[in-house]
Amino acid sequence: LFIQSKNNLKQITTDGGNGIVYGQTVHRSEFGITGGLFWSPKGNKLAFYRKDEKRVKDYPIFSINERPAKAKSFKYPMAGDSSHTVTIGITNESGNIVYIQTEGPYDQYLTNLAWSPDEKSIYLAWVNRAQNKMELRKYSSQTGAFEGLLFSEEHNKYVEPEHPVVFLPNENENFIWQSERDGFNHIYVYQQGVLSQLTKGNYIITEFLGFDKSGKYLLANSTLEGAAGNALERTPILVRLSDGSITELAAGYGMTDCQWNKESGLLIVGLSNLNMPYNSYSIDVNQVIKFIDIGGEANPILLEEIKSPIKDYNIGLTTLNTIQNDGIDLYTRTFFPPDFDPTKKYPVVVYVYGGPHAQMIQNRWLGGGNMWMAYMASKGYIVFTLDNRGSANRGFNFENAVHRQLGTLEMSDQLAGVNYLKSLQYVDSTRIGVHGWSFGGFMTTSLMTRSPGVYKVGVAGGPVID
């Protein structure tokens, strides 16, 4: 690890290599971690991950860049085997290093690192190897000493912290925290040693956007729609910190992508749905706040309307639908061939992903699909996708239903989708194929081998299999 300043390059660590890795992601994106270097708010200190992989077994990968192919070994912790050991160091301008005193099992997880605004403390979400217990811990950035356990979360399946603490404006001790502890991802406020729930309901917070300039409100994107949740769409919301009251800021209906600027008070919302490629709106949140108590309304301003880039092409219809399996609603998407004739029989390509942390079907342009699906439809296929149990944004129970039985409930839901297809008079039930990548590759191989005869052909890309 080196630190480059304007006129100086300073080496901080000297023992890297031979199984020691500095400054890289250690526990991967499952915990929301995308890097291994964490500057303090004022830039006076740098926290970093140190990963010791010495106990992790080597796994050979063959490179075909040379002829004949040569094996190169990588550190790869197979399921159930030893994982790496992680510590967190802190350095300053002098280059001195203090390590946080995270005593415990070598294979614990140190996730979601955050600095306090005054740079005096480090906060992290500790998770055990079984991933069914989380503790939010506080450490001194001066000495590395443990300063306190703020709260913990446990679940008989798993806990999954994915967002570090975010401090309230002008605060060094009080912060917001995201958690699925009530079954849906919501925002909680930690003040004076008490954690209280701010947002509630059968919807999820999909993204925290920031605070307003007054520090009395926060903005977030969500699956909230009216009084209920709709996982196919997104609604930006304004939440009053004092009482949790919510004002919806949606510019219409569909999927929204949001950019927030606290200084200007402007929220830019990109809106898309099945019938609209992409419209950009500007919302003056300061005006919204002014109108909250008097019942007025600040109307969004249309900034840009993007016309369909394929309006001159003969593209078939894309539809969203809902079917049921085991009494549970499952979302589906269908691409139809151009000039579709319901009196004819069509072969079907089932495109599947089916894994956690992903949602294939959304009320956005092309239903969350892509032009390859429209292309296949133009070749005379119906292209069908179903989001089974285990996929994202439907609540914690919907996603964790597949815990330690990957492929079982997912297959049941996918086969319910096939039964739905077979009930349609225009589907050729003898010509249904299945295709997917990664977890979708695993699903393809599972569906082909564990339910033989249902699909005529399967194409598995990058399958996660033995």
Per-residue pLDDT of the chain (466 residues; tens, 9 = 90+): 999 988 889 999 999 998 999 999 998 777 888 899 999 999 999 999 999 999 999 999 998 899 999 999 989 888 889 989 999 999 988 889 999 999 999 999 999 999 999 999 999 999 999 999 999 999 999 999 999 999 999 999 999 999 999 999 999 999 999 999 999 999 999 999 999 999 999 999 999 999 999 999 999 999 998 666 789 999 999 999 999 999 999 767 899 999 999 999 999 999 999 989 999 999 999 999 998 877 767 788 999 999 999 989 999 999 999 999 999 999 999 999 999 999 999 999 999 999 999 999 999 999 999 999 999 999 999 999 999 999 999 999 999 999 999 999 999 999 999 999 999 999 999 999 999 999 999 999 999 999 999 999 999 999 998 7
Around Cβ 70, how many Cβ atoms within 10 Å? 12
- Matching residue, tokens 């639908």: 321
What whole-number distance in Å separates Cα of residue 258 and Cα of residue 235?
Answer: 10
pTM surpassing 0.85?
Answer: yes
d(CA 466, CA 460): 14
**119, 36 in Cβ contact below 8 A?**
no
Question: Among 352, 314, 357, which Cα is nearest to 333's?
Answer: 352
Cα separation, 126 vs 264, in Å, equals: 37
**Which amino acid, residue 355?**
G
Q: Which amino acid, residue 356?
A: P
CA–CA distance, 395 with 386 (Å, rounded to integer): 17
Instruction: Tell me how far apart the alpha carbons of residues 298 and 285 are, in angstroms, rounded to a whole number.
Output: 8
Residue appearing with tokens 């415990």: 104
How many CA atoms are closer than 13 Å to the CA of 218, on its beta-carbon side?
Answer: 25
The SS3 call for residue 417 is: helix
CA distances from 456 to 194, 335, 462 (A): 58, 20, 20
Backbone angles phi, psi at 177, to 5 degrees: -140, 140
What H or E segment, with its residue span, contains residue 290? helix 285-292
| CA-based nearest residue to 359, from 398, 304, 326 | 398
